[in-house]
Structure 1
Amino acid sequence: MKVDYINPFIKSSLNFFKDYLEIDIESHKAYIEKNPEEITGISAIIGLAGEIKGQVVLNFSRETAISLASIFGGTQYRAVSKDVVDVVGEMVNIIAGAAKQYLEQRIEISLPGVVFGDSYRFAWGGTVPVIAIPFTTQYGRITIYVSIKE
């Protein structure tokens, strides 16, 4: 997977959290996720289609998701609710939409889906590597998983 596919997601994520939520966020070195099937917390998924195909997953702990959804939604959430799920889906939608503008390839993005639980799995598409991009904020860790093939 080309770094040109990863950088737009890093840039759009940093911009989203700084501009929309006005929080400090730091990106860390991206790495190939060796065991991408097992994920916990709350995740929003966007599919990519067109000249490149794949998935982008925005993953938080439940606590981080609730805190960030509270900031974004302008109300205090105390637990994962329908509103928190909607906000998390909108976050990945904004990030993927912004990344789409930076990508030179012509792509379409799907509507977001959101899943949460103590442990769940994604079907990533076989031999395509999954790149994990970790971020830290004062509200907790965020990881974006990107899996793209040409």
Structure 2
Amino acid sequence: MVNPLVSGLNIAEENRDGRRPVGDHRNGRLKVLPTLQLPDYPDVFAAGDCTVDPENPQPNTAQVAYQQGRDIADNIAALIEDKSLSPADVSLRGTLLKLGMGESAAEIFGPIEVKGRVGHLVREATYLSLLPLPGYKIKAGAQWLTDKVFEKFLG
């Protein structure tokens, strides 16, 4: 039987004797298996910038954590259904970087780089596309458009 518990934790905490409650890797990151399980605790999964899979290191970015979260959900479902677990499958889609008000840089599809206002639009559209529900997308899109209108006429 699987009793899943999802939590966001600060891994920087140490026991009073200075040791961490679970094994860690360089820079204080938790070492995980390719399935994102902790080696000594197979019922515990971890993802994001607090983890490292030494066999397949990933950059500390939101897109990696987002995809790892999906993989953990799939592996928890596999545990419940008594199926084998799959290694995390992270596909880097590029890099988005905010440079200032209305300015961004985006490296997408390999060598394609866009900067300035166009890069900013690509960045905003990408984040908008990742929102989970249409209602959130409409609300965030309307807020961004309202901000642009006020910025144009009042800024």
TM-score, with structure 2 as normaliser:
0.25
The structure, 1 or 2, with the larger RCO (C-alpha pairs under 8 Å, 6+ apart) is 1
Larger helix share, 1 or 2: 2
Which has the larger share of strand? 1
Give the structure-1-normalised TM-score: 0.26
